[in-house]
A and B are shown apart, each in its own frame.
Chain A
Amino acid sequence: MSAEQWPSEWLRGVLGVCVLRILLDGPSYGYALTQRLAEAGLGAVKGGTLYPLLGRLEEAGHVEVEWRPGEGGPGRKYFALTAQGRREAAELAARWAAFTTTTRELTDGALAQQAGSS
């Protein structure tokens, strides 16, 4: 399935746990995060969606922020997980797994019905 087709309300729900997951690999900045999300198949996430989320993560103490100078450019705002953020990332990933298992137990029935009728 093409990544551009995910309904935006699904993306809003899953974006937090995905961003936390990417930050587990190390500090990153806004544009790189959008690239990584696109590579993962989530489609083009806009800055207008991503930065408010990062702002909420910072406000909650899950990430720390550091401006690093860029070569000739305006510099980059790096986001790094705090210890609390790492715990949050692991916990949310586990809950997301449980959530998708639960939803699939229900929705997979639709696939089974479709397979049975064809």
Chain B
Amino acid sequence: MDHTPGRARGRLAEKVAGDPAAIAPHVDPDWREEFVVELRLLSVPGARIGDALLTVEAHVVEAGEPASEAFGDARTYAREIAAATGAAGTGWRVGAATVVSTLLGLVGMLVTVAAFGGWLDGGPVEVTTGELVGLAVLVLLASTLFLDATLRVVVEHRWLALLAPAVLVGVVVGLYGLFAEPLLTVPALPLGLAGVLLLVVSTVVSWFDGPADGDRITAPGQGRGPVRGVRVFSALVLPLMTLLLLALTWALHAILG
């Protein structure tokens, strides 16, 4: 597929998720996005999405009419074509393993960073009620991503995806402040080991859960690209973030003494 000028997204995004704009440059961007998002929500594999998208592209180029006219509403057409070709539900989807690995990774990250901070201070880690409650809220909310309904609500109400994390951070910080009295103390080293163990388990689960071929949106006959790199990166996101936070903690500690 020729690269078309004026693509909205960069090469990295294209490598990770495929590039619908390069596959169907003549399809109205809004229509194209609604179509792709609906097919993703229906768990249609990336290659099938690329095929359906190129079919629309070929048709609108030749018929000279916009996709909305030739194919009607993007979501309705996405549902029809997914049902007709039997492709719905055959691709990768957010499943129990995805949720478990993400939760373990998040908890592992927070625990490891807390333990590292305690170790730098040379003492045990004090855990407050607020921290435990905040963690529980995070875990509970993240678990609902397991439900297709949650994903659909987030996708169809984009402002939620922007607003929800900010509100969540506010709530968690509030909980920390409200219940700041120490509940228990834990020695830094065992806590750190537990955190690292959680991260390792999370990474392993994420590696095996991830779609083997990256599930990128590819046009028919288009190569699959650097799939391995994508898979390694998505499995290592949380450990890498943990390393970043550890470096930050160390730097702050060094500066503030």
Contact = CB atoms under 8 A, between A and B. Distances in A.
Given A48-B80, A53-B84, A59-B85, A30 B55 contact: yes
Contacts, number: 69
Given A47-B70, A67-B221, A74 B58 contact: yes
A56 B55 CA distance: 15
Looking at chain A's contact residues, the main secondary structure is helix
**Most chain B CB inside 10 Å of its own CB: which residue of A47, A67, A70, A77:** A47
B29 interface: no
Interface stretch (B59-67, B194-202, B235-243): B59-67
Contact of A55 (B54, B58, B81): B81
Contacts of A31: 58-59, 62-63
Interface residues of B, number: 29
B114 interface: no
B55 A51 contact: yes
Given A59-B86, A67-B220, A74-B61, A47 B81 contact: no
Nearest to B2: A72
A82 B85 CA distance: 17
A48 B51 CA distance: 15
A109 to B, nearest CB: 38
Given A55-B81, A74-B57, A75-B54, A47 B62 contact: no
Contacts of B63: 31, 34, 47
B175 interface: no
A30 B84 contact: no
Interface string A71-98: 0011111000000000000000000000
A52 interface: yes
18 contacts: A30-B55, A46-B72, A48-B80, A51-B52, A51-B71, A52-B83, A52-B84, A55-B84, A56-B84, A59-B84, A67-B54, A70-B58, A73-B58, A74-B54, A74-B58, A74-B61, A76-B58, A77-B58
Interface in B28-66: 51-52, 54-63
Interface of A: 29-31, 34, 46-48, 51-53, 55-56, 58-59, 67, 70, 73-77
A77 B84 contact: no
A67 B55 CA distance: 10
B92 interface: no
Contacts of B59: 30-31, 47, 51
A43 to B, nearest CB: 14
A74 B85 CA distance: 21
A68 to B, nearest CB: 10
Contacts of B51: 77
